[in-house]
Amino acid sequence: MPTPQKPKVYRDAIDELVRMCREGQGQIGARRARHGVWNPSATTDYLADQHETNLLLARMPAEDREILANLLASEVVTGVFETLKVLEQFQVLPFEDGYEGSPFNDFIGRLAGWEWPEK
């Protein structure tokens, strides 16, 4: 059975979500954790919760900050995965199905280096 063709916007959207997870918004929290400062402008009087996060990160060794960074980046991937599941569940075009059965499968595959089927 031939692979069904998806519109270009489908591939572009999945690829942009992968890019965002690897390089964009999905890496902001991870970069902050690795750097050891969540928000350099935060103080006890301004953005106190972020100041507390700064203090927590400052107490953590680099190895633990790396673990936290990976966890934060993974949570962004999970958010995208779950969003794609909802788009499929509600049959939002063109995310009603995917090349590998479901759009979230295509997303995870592209994260892992899977190539799109030939056009």
- What is residue 118's predicted lDDT score, i.e. its pLDDT? 77
| Per-residue confidence band for 3, with pLDDT thresholds at 50, 70 and 90 | low
Nearest CA among 14, 56, 8, 50 for reference residue 36: 56
Whether this model's pTM surpasses 0.95:
no
| Tokens 């958010």, residue located | 79
- What is residue 81's predicted lDDT score, i.e. its pLDDT? 98
- What is residue 119's predicted lDDT score, i.e. its pLDDT? 61
| Ranges of each domain in the chain | 8-111
pLDDT mean over 32-46: 98
Residue type, 96: E
Instruction: Determine contact, residues 54/37, Cβ cutoff 8 Å.
Output: yes
Task: Express as a percent the part of the chain with pLDDT over 90.
Answer: 92
